[in-house]
Structure formats: C-alpha cells, structure tokens
Amino acid sequence: MPAAGEYLAYYGAYTKLAPEGDIVETLRRQHRECQALYAGITEAHAQFRPVADEWSIKQVVGHLADTERIFSYRALVFARADAVALPGMEPDPYVVSGAFDARTLVDIVSEFSHLRAATIALFNGLPDDAWGRGGTASNAHVTVRALAWIIAGHELHHVQSLKDKYQV
C-alpha cells in the first residue's frame, strides 16, 4: 500500500478504498465483479441520471475508462523511468467530449474491460523496483505503486456511487 507522500492528498480518498494486499489481484477481482455489475444494467437504465446535471451511468463508465487509460499511462511512463512531467485532467470536459450517451453501454463496458485487462498486464509485468518509481502528474509527485491503488480506489468510489445514487 502506498504511503501518504507517494500521491497528492486528494487521491487519499481513493487509495484508502482499495484493500491492502496484492493490488494486481484486487484489479483482477474488480474486473470480474464489475463485468457482472455492468452486465445487469439495461440500455434504458444506462441513460439514468440521479439529477439532471449529473452524469448518466454511461458517462460514469466512460469516465472510468478514460481515467483508467490516463492513470495507466502515467504508471507506464514512471515505471520506465521517464522524467517527463505529465498534465492533469479535468473530468467534465472528457465526459462531454466522450459522447458516451451516443454509444451503447455494451460498447463502453467492452472498451473499459480491454483497458482493465491492459492495466492488469502492465502492473503484473513490472519489476519490483518499478513500483517505487515516480514522477510528476497534475503538478504533484506520484509513484507507480500509488497509481495502482488510485486506479482500484477510483473504480470502487464510482461503483459505490452507482449502487447508492444510480440504483444499480
């Protein structure tokens, strides 16, 4: 589990959600569990928004795919000891530009599933010393280890929201 100094304090809410232990196994378990969860959502229900100005279920899953891609890329860059500083990302413009509501939920979930499989392969193949490497993203230091926990916790955060607010 990453130490507090390995990530921006904002991400502590996510890292605390992911259980201690083998993070790659956690990502695998999430992959299986979420595939089952998303498979139970009808296309009609996938348009649901708890209130008018909140994201739809499709947009939440699309957001998960986008952030998985970004955080995994950050992990790759830092694991390979690249010193480049990476930009932050504001989620709302990504969700708007992603046009997720124009796609089927099955298509979005499929994309996310492929991304998660690639994320698992990336982390599973890292040498031990890569986990402690880090760099700058969103103007703050973050390690590869922290990114793995952030990815897992970020999904857990949104899955809980889907269950609590979106009737999934």
* Cross-strand bridge partners of residue 136: 141
Q: Which two tokens stand for residue 106?
A: 């099955």
pLDDT, tens digit, for every residue of 41-75?
Answer: 999 999 999 999 999 999 999 999 999 999 999 99
What pLDDT, on the 0 to 100 scale, is given for residue 130?
A: 98
Cite the beta strand spans of 17-109 per DSSP E: none
What pLDDT, on the 0 to 100 scale, is given for residue 11?
A: 96
Question: Residues 56, 49: contact at Cβ < 8 Å?
Answer: yes
Indicate whether this model's pTM tops 0.85.
Answer: yes
Write down the domain spans for the chain.
4-165
Sign of CA dihedral 111, 16, 41, 25: positive
Q: Which residues of the chain have pLDDT under 70?
A: none
Q: In this structure, which topology does domain 4-165 adopt according to CATH? A: Four Helix Bundle (Hemerythrin (Met), subunit A) (1.20.120)
Say how far apart CA 109 and CA 115 lie, in whole Å.
Answer: 10
The type of residue at 137 is A
